[in-house]
Amino acid sequence: MKKNLIKNNKDFYEKKLDWETIQSEMKSKFGSDIYDSWLKKIEFIDEFNNYILISVTTRFIRDWITSRYIDQILQIIRTYNKNISRIEFSINHKKESISENISENKFENKINTENVSFIKDTYLQYNRIDPNKNFENFIVGSSNKLAYEASKKVSENISQYNPLYIYGGVGMGKTHLLNAIGLNYREQKKVMFISAERFMYQFVKSIKNNDMVKFKEYFRNTDALLIDDIQFMNGKEAMQEEFFHTFNALLEKGSQIILSADRSPNKLLRIQERIKSRFSGGLVVDIQNPDYDLRYEIVKSKCSELSLLYSNQLSVTKELQEFISSEVKTSIRELVGALNRIVSYSRIYNKIPNISETKIILKDLLNLSENKVTIDLIQTIVCKYFKISKNEMLSSRRSRYLVRPRQTAIYLAKILTSKSLPEIGRTFSNRDHTTVIHSVKTIDRLIKEDNELKINVDNLKNKILYNKDNEI
């Protein structure tokens, strides 16, 4: 029986993948052009219990294959052997033909990443660095200038900001800046850009595979560690413990750490205090909501790109650019999304939409700010602004210092929400709809006569729309 077991094990390990079949599958899946340019260069070396070892001629080819095709290649392999969970690379520096070298160098120069070196992609099976997100195409405005300048200095190794912590709302450009920093580290030997979610995945996977030594080696042996969306570590005590020690180890060896999150360090939830303290010990910068000027510059830039893409057959009017910039205020990502919708409409119907048509196309986006604005939020912000309590505002008292804030809140509720007059009245201690009408007319008249009141109303409108006081 023992002999049979040995024999079976021997047969199992001797059974190798049919690499010619795998190559045929890759050619069929990716097409002849991609296969001949990149995948044909792969040589099969050996197969082990749960991974295979393959060889390519350069690190660049390895990085290119890993960042774009590795998951799909692994999927093909697993159809023939489900035990294979990863692919390892060996670099075999063969002497290539002159034409191959020229072709590869041209491509490397085109994407401008020839000197960026990454942590071994075969371990992470993931690489977030995008050659298209660089400092050159990051549009700077008053809301993101500080974050941009800090990132630029860190990337040029002329600052002592360590760690650099960038925070701001969704779609504001944090990931773009982290990416640009990663690309700019041309002299660094090891650069790692990963999301907190992916870090957690690798951590759990390493524990499961009893491979924590390898995990520590990869994450602590970097010259620059960039982690996106660090807030996703909340509540994960074991992972936070490992991250804390990794953080300290990198600082001790002089490695640069750059982090992004959706809030400042002191507002991170369920994160160890010692970790938040480490974050605050470096430079903390925020990216605020983009003002009109920045939104307009972004829209103009994207329109220019689209015009070139479609060989000047697509031209978004200045009026439409101004409308989108003025109305879509929530995030840069949604601003670009709105423009993409306009472009899609234009290509389908072969015409640029007018303002009325644009309002229909962007109906959900234009209502997004409204959906976030509640009457309760308006009342809270107005009360804080005029330094009165909400109970005083909702009371029946008619003191002058209460009447004007109350009328202002009612006016803002009317113009910033879709609530009916009776609904607004009910939220103000069941006041009659005629009271609501009177308040709206009064404030509407006064802001034309009283410049100070107009400034107050405009300030309140900005606070409410940008939701800056939503954490009161």
Residue 11 has pLDDT above 90, yes or no: no
pLDDT at 56: 84
Q: For residue 131, is the peptide bond before it cis, meaning its omega torsion is within 30 degrees of 0?
A: no
Q: Which residues contact 246 (CB under 8 A, 6 or more apart)?
A: 216, 219, 220, 225
pLDDT of residue 407: 92
User: For position 146, what pLDDT does the model report?
Assistant: 93
Quick one: pLDDT band at residue 99, thresholds 50, 70, 90? Answer: very low
pLDDT tens digits, one per residue of 411-428: 999 888 878 888 899 999
What is the arithmetic mean of pLDDT over 421-436?
89
The architecture CATH gives domain 145-287: 3-Layer(aba) Sandwich (3.40)
Mean pLDDT across the chain: 80
Lowest mean pLDDT among 110-119, 163-172, 290-299: 110-119
- Strand pairing category for 51-56 and 43-47: antiparallel
Whether the pLDDT of residue 196 is over 70: the answer is yes
Confidence category of residue 276, pLDDT binned at 50, 70, 90: very high
The residue that leads in pLDDT, 166 or 55, is 166
Rounded to an integer, the average pLDDT of 330-336 is 82
The whole-number average pLDDT for the span 340-345 is 84
Which of 72-81, 171-180, 374-383 is least confident? 72-81
Give residues with Cβ within 8 angstroms of 129, minimum separation 6.
Answer: 67, 113, 116, 118, 179, 182, 183, 191, 193
pLDDT at res. 189 = 64
Q: Which CATH class is domain 292-366?
A: mainly alpha
Sign of the torsion formed by the C-alpha atoms of 370, 375, 380 and 383? positive
Domain boundaries, the chain: 2-111, 145-287, 292-366, 373-465
pLDDT at 98 over 50: no
The backbone region for 3, taken as left when phi is positive above 0, alpha when psi lies in -120 to 50, beta otherwise, is alpha
Size of the chain, expressed as the number of residues it contains: 472
CATH number of 2-111: 3.30.300.180
Does domain 373-465 fall under CATH 3.40.50.970? My reply is: no
Instruction: List, for residues 356-412, the tens digit of each pLDDT value.
Output: 788 878 876 775 544 567 889 999 999 998 889 999 999 988 888 899 999 999 999
CA of residue 329 relative to chain centroid, distance: 17
More confident residue, 366 or 297: 297
pLDDT in tens, 367-383: 554 456 788 999 999 99
Q: Which of 117-131, 250-264, 343-357 has the lowest mean pLDDT?
A: 117-131
pLDDT over 70 at 167, yes or no: yes
pLDDT at 440 over 80: yes
For the stretch 223-259, pLDDT in tens is: 889 999 998 888 888 889 989 998 999 998 888 999 9
Is the pLDDT confidence value at 62 over 60? yes
- Rounded Cα distance between 262 and 467, Å, is 14
pLDDT of residue 286: 92
